[in-house]
Amino acid sequence: MTLDPVTLAVLNGRLEQIVDEMDATLFRSAFNPIIAEAHDASHGIYHRDTGETLAQGKSGLPIFVGAMAFAVKTVIAKAARDRDLADGDVYIFNDPWDGGTHLSDFRLVRPVYRDGRVFCWIASVGHWHDVGGAVPGNYNPAATEAWQEGFICPPVKLYRAGVYQTDIVDMLQSNSRLPVSLYGDLNAQINALDLGHDRLTGLLDAYGDAVIDEALVALRDRAEQLMRQEIRALPDGVYRARDFMDNDGVIDRPLELHLAITVADDAMTLDFTGSAPACLGPINISEATTHAACYVAMKHVFDEIPANAGAMAPITVIIPEGSVLAAKRPKPVGGYTETILRLIDLVFQAMADAAPKRSNGCAYGTINALSIAGRRTGTGAPWVMFSFFGGGHGGSDASDGLQHGNAPISTATIPPLEILEAAYPVAFRQWALRPDSGGVGRHRGGLGAIYEIELLEENAEAFLFGERGRTPPPGILGGGPGALNRFQFDTSEGRKTPRMASKIVGIKLERGMRVRLETPGGGGYGDPAERDPAAIAADLAAGYVTEKPR
């Protein structure tokens, strides 16, 4: 049987729609604003034997979909060892070394059975608000082992042949500062899986298992063929880049990351040899997370390629054993977001020489994970405001960079201040673009932002996990860097800055005290002498820059 192009396109659309509906179901029913508003979650359909990505949603985080393939492989291996897989089983876990990212991200994996055998797997991942650990919200920049970041749940069955395991839920809730939020997010993910199962079953009933199987193989092959065509169009050669992490949050020295991209005919190698060894603090990432970051970076560069496992088939990733990019348990990995952003920056910098029209200046390079937590006056109920914040994206061959965007690891949104102010006892006294923060260039980097937040409760503690406070986001092809990240906080002795630049724990706040974030802009693209004078005049008039570039 050979599917005609129209039928294949229809089935591809149907598969994507199923996963998009799963995304929408979770976003509309989660309790936690990081999922409901920021869309820090994702869903996908995965191969029954290999765990490879077959389809992903367009609204969730791409980094999750890449990592989830490794999570599904973990479940496949466990089911094979235990020999007890049944229709109606659902596995749950957050283990970052077995296909995970960090402990806040909980994965639910479910087999889809047809005629007594597994046809495929579906999966859901979402960032839960609080999973224990030393720091509310779980971004602990001072962690030296994973247990200081939260509780670790290995792959266990949340459902056994369709029977809900309430003792598992009891244990999860008892380890969270916000058990009601956890319960709501968990059940929202269960509902998303139920919907995905029903929709996928309906599609299989309508077209038949053999037709869908053939379509999945054809879609993967097509993605691989298209990626090979794109790579073949690049000049053969080796393209190198290096960049730095500020520090690991524990020892204040930079960590160097290296990338060599080798293009040979229709294949590519991404080699991270020379990158720093695994460190004491929580900017380590697992090998699975490194692979997922490479997938996202390649999708940025080759954005027309379909989003399935075929896109990475022509690409070999070399990750040095024992490096910060291949951490083993129990190394802390809570700040994985910062490290994968730097890997994407490395790809942009290296690809600037191989395909300048496809690359761009580096984005702001940090999510600035900020937690403010305390107890309500009168009731004593705990509250945890966890959020991430935006910055500027890099200039490109086509245009200036996006102002105040979200990180390039995702399609998430920055939580609206109205939602944050309604949910927590804080007030945003400033939320604005940051002038002069974008790197100069023929096309300027986008501007970062300024956020100033005042505490309205009697007291609270604040914690920040950020980056790019020491090494700014680079431009490419002669473009200038974006501005450095800056963080300030009020104390009884005046306003101060963190010793670790953008990482700090245990800031004691009292009513009326503020914290202030000034996020980086993006790197510029091309020679700034080539910038259109009309664009310079418009920047000055809008206040994006405060003086004419020399």
Q: What span, in angstroms and rounded, lies between the C-alpha atoms of 273 and 286?
A: 15
Q: Locate the DSSP E strands across 439-496.
A: 449-455, 459-465, 486-491, 494-496
Half-sphere exposure at residue 278, Cβ-oriented, CA atoms within 13 angstroms: 18
Calculate ∠ Cα 337-482-276, nearest 5°: 45
Measured from the Cβ of residue 4, the count of other Cβ atoms closer than 10 Å reads 8
Phi/psi for 436 (5° steps) reads: 65, 20
| pLDDT tens string 308-358 | 889 999 999 999 999 999 999 999 999 999 999 999 999 999 999 999 999
* Nearest Cα to Cα of residue 168 among 266, 273, 89, 56: 89
| pLDDT tens string 452-461 | 999 999 999 9
What average pLDDT does this structure show over 29-55?
Answer: 92
What average pLDDT does this structure show over 10-21?
Answer: 94
Q: Which two tokens stand for residue 254?
A: 């930079």
Report the phi/psi class of residue 53: left, alpha or beta, with left for phi > 0 and alpha for psi in -120 to 50: beta
Measured from the Cβ of residue 200, the count of other Cβ atoms closer than 10 Å reads 23
| AA identity, residue 458 | E
Q: What is the pLDDT of residue 147?
A: 93
Sign of CA dihedral 310, 327, 394, 409: positive
| pLDDT tens string 252-266 | 999 999 999 999 999
Cβ proximity of 485 and 247 under 8 Å: no
Calculate ∠ Cα 9-22-204, nearest 5°: 50
H/E stretch holding 217 reads helix 209-232
Measured from the Cβ of residue 428, the count of other Cβ atoms closer than 10 Å reads 15
What average pLDDT does this structure show over 496-504?
Answer: 96
Q: Which two tokens stand for residue 304?
A: 């027309």
At residue 1 the predicted structure's pLDDT band, cuts being 50, 70 and 90, is low
What average pLDDT does this structure show over 493-522?
Answer: 97
| pLDDT tens string 173-232 | 999 999 999 999 999 999 999 999 999 999 999 999 999 999 999 999 999 999 999 999
Q: What rounded mean pLDDT belongs to the chain?
A: 94
| AA identity, residue 362 | C
Q: What is the pLDDT of residue 57?
A: 79
Q: What is the pLDDT of residue 550?
A: 65
Which has the minimum average pLDDT: 28-37, 267-276, 407-416? Answer: 407-416
| pLDDT tens string 382-431 | 999 999 999 999 999 999 999 999 888 766 778 889 999 999 999 999 99
Place of tokens 């509310």: 136
Q: What is the pTM of this model?
A: 0.94
User: What is the DSSP secondary structure assignment for residue 177, as one 8-state letter?
Assistant: S
Half-sphere exposure at residue 389, Cβ-oriented, CA atoms within 13 angstroms: 32
| pLDDT tens string 102-134 | 999 999 999 999 999 999 999 999 999 999 999
Phi/psi for 519 (5° steps) reads: -85, 155
Alpha helix locations (H) across 258-376? 287-301, 336-354
At residue 56 the predicted structure's pLDDT band, cuts being 50, 70 and 90, is confident
Q: What is the pLDDT of residue 541?
A: 96
Q: What span, in angstroms and rounded, lies between the C-alpha atoms of 23 and 19?
A: 6
Place of tokens 């990482």: 503
* Nearest Cα to Cα of residue 438 among 465, 404, 466, 471: 404
Burial class (CB in 10 A: 0-12, 13-18, 19+), 537: exposed
Per residue, what are the HEC states of 46-60? EECCCCCEEEECCCC
What average pLDDT does this structure show over 348-372?
Answer: 96
Phi/psi for 349 (5° steps) reads: -70, -45
H/E stretch holding 41 reads strand 41-47
Q: What is the pLDDT of residue 54?
A: 92
Burial class (CB in 10 A: 0-12, 13-18, 19+), 115: exposed
Cβ proximity of 344 and 257 under 8 Å: no
